[in-house]
């Protein structure tokens, strides 16, 4: 995850972690609209002052929270093939999205449609991280000699993100293998 924005606070990683954990729990329980800095402080046994020493706004707190969730879903992969890497990325993502975490992220995406500040931080903290991981996977594929020419990494990251969220949107009806086949073919042949 990114470091909380330093605003002259004393360093206290344990309290940072407690506040982020409380924010995750509040997001899962209440969604973005229901989350308040007061509620997060109360759950962490801390104070809103402690929150505002670390983050300038609810949106910034939530952005760091979302970044933490996404980092769990984006552990590095290197299986030896592009198809293997994509399958493992999707498996990590599903594991990280269990227990209400995916639902919490989905409410953030929905809320961002009426909240430009939230949209901007989500774009940077969540989507930006996914894109960086995708670029790494594509670079690994290229280094192995797999064809990756002509692939727009940003567009591909968007497709992969949504494949990862699809169980939340359309249920468990679509097997990962179907996505892996489509996405691997897309990468190998987009340059033709």
Q: At what angle do helices 82-97 and 153-170 cross, to 10 degrees?
A: 40
Binding flag, residue 33, its own copies (CB under 8 A): yes
Q: Which of 124, 90, 99, 78 is nearest to 28 (CA)?
A: 99
179 makes contact with its own copies (CB under 8 A): yes
Q: Is residue 76 near its own copies by the rule CB under 8 A?
A: no
The dihedral built from the CA positions of residue 159, 71, 73 and 90, taken in this order, carries a sign that is positive
Nearer to its own copies, 44 or 160 (CB): 160
Q: How far is the CB of 143 from its own copies (least distance, A)?
A: 21
Packed helices 101-112 and 153-170: angle between N→C axes, nearest 10 degrees: 120
C-alpha to C-alpha distance for 170 and 180, rounded to whole angstroms:
17
Task: Tell me if 183 contacts its own copies by CB under 8 A.
Answer: yes
State which of residues 96, 103, 125, 139 lies at the interface with its own copies (CB under 8 A).
103
Q: Which residues bind its own copies (CB under 8 A)?
A: 31, 33, 102-103, 106-114, 123, 127, 150-152, 154-156, 158-159, 161-163, 166, 168-171, 173-175, 178-179, 181-183, 185-192
């Amino acid at each position: 995850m990114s470091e909380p924005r330093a605003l002259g606070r004393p360093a206290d990683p344990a309290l940072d972690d407690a506040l982020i954990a409380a924010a995750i729990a509040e997001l899962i329980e209440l969604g973005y609209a229901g989350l308040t800095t007061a509620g997060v402080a109360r759950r962490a046994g801390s104070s809103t002052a402690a929150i505002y020493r670390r983050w300038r706004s609810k949106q910034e707190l939530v952005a760091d929270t979302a970044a933490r969730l996404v980092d769990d879903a984006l552990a590095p992969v290197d299986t030896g093939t592009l198809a293997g890497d994509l399958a493992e990325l999707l498996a990590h993502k599903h594991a990280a999205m269990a227990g209400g975490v995916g639902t919490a992220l989905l409410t953030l995406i929905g809320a961002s449609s009426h909240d430009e500040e939230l949209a901007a931080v989500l774009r940077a903290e969540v989507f930006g991280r996914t894109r960086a991981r995708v670029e790494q996977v594509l670079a690994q594929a290229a280094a192995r000699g797999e064809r990756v020419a002509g692939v727009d990494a940003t567009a591909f990251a968007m497709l992969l993100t949504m494949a990862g969220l699809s169980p939340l949107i359309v249920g468990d009806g679509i097997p990962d293998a179907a996505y892996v086949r489509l996405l691997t073919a897309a990468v190998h042949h987009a340059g033709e």
